[in-house]
Amino acid sequence: MAEGELQKLLPRLIQEGQLALLKEEIENVGNLSEDVQRKHFGRSGDTLLHYAARHGQLSILSYLVETLEMDTELFNNDYKQPLHEAGSMGHRDCVLYLLNRGATVNCLKKADWTPLMMACTRRNLEVIQDLIQHGGNPLLKNKDGWNCFHIASREGDPQVIQYLLDVSPGIWDTESKIKRTPLHTAAMHGCLGVVKVLLERCHYRPDSTDKCGVTPFMDAVQHGHLDIAQLLLEKHKEGHTGTIKTLLSLGADLNAKDGKNRTALHMACAGQHAACVQILLQAGLRDSPDSTGTHAQQLVKKSNLLQLFWEIPVPSCP
């Protein structure tokens, strides 16, 4: 069989889980078993081990390691090792196999990502636990200054966050190279459950700023996650008048709504934040009904706040 055909055939057989056919092809070509031990395929430079780990083919993985004696720490063009692949795809059996065969748990791929970081891009708590129990260091940072806690905060699984805090209680106290905290990350990506855990168990200042002056509250509002914005308003009782002004000056969408059709005005009124309500009304935000038909004004409990709706005439939407 021509070299080019083998380049396509062998990875395809692995992807499809065709162990018998893979063995047959390798055994039928002289010296092929020695050739594939370190052979790299395609533009990414993956070895057959990478393909097996990525697609969760444990039987093929064990054949390549135990019969063909392939090195579990071969890396591709991005310095990614098979353990990175298995971790990133959540294949627990392959992760455990590679670890038990001596794969380095804290190996680094390009941009300094560890297998644990890759595993945290998925909601697979068991794989994350396995890596940490085998010595995975949750405090390591990649080239952008993110540790696995930043990554897990972006993905939004509260159970993973709780576990990481249990095994490393100080892991929350971290910033990226541009001074963004995991709270920034969770707020930006709309991970309400994670934000609740972070506010309960960690000690973030809800008005902490990154290098660009952006707070978690600003991230939440800019991306339409108003339920998170409300949580942060409640945490920071004086109300984020400065950040609201900054948002408006930066051209933020005044009429942004969340999944329940609520605007920032609903959030400010629910939290009884008069200064925020005043700024929003003066900026021209109309009081519109949410998905239940409730206007922001109906959430007001304080007379001085209700008076703002009379003093700053803003027509309500029908």
- Full set of structural domains in the chain with CATH: 208-318 (1.25.40.20)
With H, G, I as helix, E, B as strand and everything else as coil, classify residue 23: helix
Determine the pLDDT at residue 315: 46
* Phi and psi angles of residue 36, each rounded to the nearest 5 degrees, phi first: -80, -10
Determine the pLDDT at residue 317: 40
Q: Name residues of the chain where pLDDT drops below 50.
A: 238-239, 315-318
- Which of 186, 177, 179 shows the shortest CA–CA distance to 149? 186
Determine the pLDDT at residue 250: 54
**What CA–CA distance (Å, rounded) separates 127 from 87?**
7
Cβ atoms within 10 Å, residue 189: 18
**Do 122 and 86 form a contact (C-beta atoms < 8 A)?**
no
Amino acid making up residue 133: Q
**What CA–CA distance (Å, rounded) separates 229 from 240?**
10
pLDDT cut 90: percent of the chain above it: 58
Give the gyration radius of the chain's Cα atoms.
26
Determine the pLDDT at residue 251: 59
Contacts of 135 by beta carbon, 8 Å cutoff, 6+ apart: 105, 106
